[in-house]
Structure 1
Amino acid sequence: MLVNNDLYKKSSKTQKIRCEICANYCKIADGKVGICRQHKNINGELYDESYGIVSSLSPDPVEKKPLNKFLPGTFTYSIGGFGCNMTCLHCQNYMISHEYDINSRGIKITPEVIVENALNYNCKSIAWTYNEPTIHLPFSKKTSLLARQKKLKVIYVSNGYYSGKSLEEVLTFVDAFNIDLKSMSQDFYKKVCGADLDVVLDNLKRIYLEGKHLEITNLIINDYNDSIDEITQLCDFVVTELGPEVPLHFSRAFPYYKMDNISPTRQEILYKAKEIAEEKGINSVYLGNI
């Protein structure tokens, strides 16, 4: 599927193109793909190689996303794809984001069938989840617009690593976000996720200012982002830059993928994080994976 030409730029001197769908801004040579492995330069045009191909489809309680303050008690039709624009060493879904065979595992489906499935399961929304939805922007947009015509809400469960252009587009059709704010350390984002913290923070502020429903998840990892100072800094950001009404989810990490040498997050630090968040004035604080 050819990507809209306002989401990439052609070079006047070479066959390379600059993808502007996410904040990596990959410069892709002819015949090559970007970091997400979903977008390919074919003769100087950008194509979404996985348009209409998903990894999973399932009706889930909306609280599983987790979204505890958006359509509580309802089901959402969850759609997962392949690939990611971050390279997190602790990825919980690495089987579809980093190590996969799309030809053997991919499920071909149309936007119309996705929406029909959601309605048949009596879901009140659809959720783009399990992998980063932004990298499938053309497909998620078309499906989401059709879903909204059928009175379904649209959810993005995301790492928040959008380009300015893609976020502007996403904001036109997404009703609710859960953003994974992985750390308040630029060093953590660079070394563990291959990304830029400031981009995520700026995008969180933009989502909030646009009046979208927003909840934040922070996966706490022993000896990486579990210090009292960092947890306090994260809570301060939520209160001062967003608002105390934004729900905050602290989640327990387990050894996985390329961080299989860590130990499960100490439960006492999760309870301490909840205490800090509540003392800072955050109204709704939840603990996950315990």
Structure 2
Amino acid sequence: MLVNSNLYKKSSKSQKIRCEICANYCKIAEGHFGVCRQHKNVNGELFDESYGIVSSLSPDPIEKKPLHNFMPHTFTYSIGGFGCNMTCLHCQNYTISQEYDKNSRSIKINPKTIVDNAIRYGCKSIAWTYNEPTIHLPFNKETSLLAQKNNLKVIYVSNGYFSQQSINEILGFVDAFNIDLKSMSKDFYKKVCGADLDVVLDNLRRIHIEGKHLEITNLILNDYNDSVEEISQLCDFVVDELSADVPLHFSRAFPYYKMNDISPTNPEILYKAKEIALNKGIKNVYLGNI
């Protein structure tokens, strides 16, 4: 599938093209892919090689996303793909985001079938989840617009690493977001996730300003982002730059992928995080994976 020309730029000096779908802004040589391994330079044009290819389809309680304050007690039709625009060492879904065999595990599906499935299962929304949805922007945009025509809401469960170009499009068809704010440390984002914290914070501000429903998840790892100081800093960001009305989810991490040496997050840290958040004035605080 050829990507819309406003989401990439051609170079006048080389055969490389600059993908502008996410904040990596990959410069892709002819015949090669970007970081996400889904977008390819073919004869100087950007192609989405994963259009209509998904890894998983499932009706889920909306609280599983997690969204606790958006259409509670309803089901959402969850769609997952392959790949990611971050390289998190602790990825909890690494078998579809980082290390995967798309040829043997993929499901080919079209937007109408997804919408029909959601309606048949009695879902009130569709959710782009399990892996980073931004990297499948052409497919999830077409599907989402069709879903909305059929009175289904659209959910993005995302790391928030949007480009300026893509967030402009995404805000046009997404009704609710859960954004994974992994840490308030730039060093953590750079070394553990291969990304830039400031981009995520800017996109959170933009989502809030645009009036979209927003919930935030913070996956806490022992000895990495579990200090009282960092948890307090994250809560201060929510209260001071977003709103105390934004629900905050603290979630327990387990040893996965390239962080098999860590231990499962101490539940006492999550209870402490919830106490901090409530004391900061955040109105809705939830704990996950405990």
Could you tell me the TM-score, scaled by structure 1's length?
1.00
2:9 match: secondary structure: strand
Query: Pairwise mapping of residues 172-187 of structure 1 onto structure 2 (< 5 A)?
Result: 172-187=172-187
Matching residue of 1:189: 189
Q: Could you give the per-residue CA deviations for residues 224-249 of structure 1, whole angstroms, max 9, x where no partner exists? A: 00000000000000000000000000
Query: Pairwise mapping of residues 131-170 of structure 1 onto structure 2 (< 5 A)?
Result: 131-170=131-170
1:60 match: secondary structure: strand
Aligned residues: 290
1:13 CA drift (Å)? 1.2
1:101 CA drift (Å)? 1.3
Distance in 2, matches of 1:98 and 1:271, equals 31
What amino acid is aligned across from residue 30 of structure 2 in structure 1?
Answer: D
Q: Could you give the per-residue CA deviations for residues 115-169 of structure 1, whole angstroms, max 9, x where no partner exists? A: 0000000000000000000000000000000000000000000000000010000
Distance in 1, matches of 2:134 and 2:82, equals 11
2:238 match: secondary structure: helix
Structure 1: gaps (5+ residues)? none
State the superposition RMSD in angstroms. 0.3
Matching residue of 1:119: 119
1:262 CA drift (Å)? 0.2
Identity of aligned residues (%): 80
Q: Does 1:281 align with 2:281?
A: yes
Q: Does 1:219 align with 2:227?
A: no
1:208 CA drift (Å)? 0.3
1:15 CA drift (Å)? 0.5
Structure 2: gaps (5+ residues)? none
Q: Could you give the per-residue CA deviations for residues 241-270 of structure 1, whole angstroms, max 9, x where no partner exists? A: 000000000000111110000011111110
What amino acid is aligned across from residue 240 of structure 2 in structure 1?
Answer: T
Could you tell me the TM-score, scaled by structure 2's length?
1.00
What amino acid is aligned across from residue 205 of structure 1 in structure 2?
Answer: R
Query: Pairwise mapping of residues 13-92 of structure 1 onto structure 2 (< 5 A)?
Result: 13-92=13-92
What amino acid is aligned across from residue 251 of structure 2 in structure 1?
Answer: S
Distance in 1, matches of 2:280 and 2:114, equals 41
Structure 1 outlier segments of 4+, above 3 Å: none
1:250 match: secondary structure: strand
Matching residue of 2:244: 244
Distance in 1, matches of 2:204 and 2:267, equals 27
Distance in 2, matches of 1:181 and 1:36, equals 19
Distance in 2, matches of 1:287 and 1:71, equals 19
1:275 CA drift (Å)? 0.3
Distance in 2, matches of 1:183 and 1:220, equals 8
Distance in 2, matches of 1:195 and 1:96, equals 19
What amino acid is aligned across from residue 53 of structure 2 in structure 1?
Answer: I
Distance in 2, matches of 1:265 and 1:105, equals 31
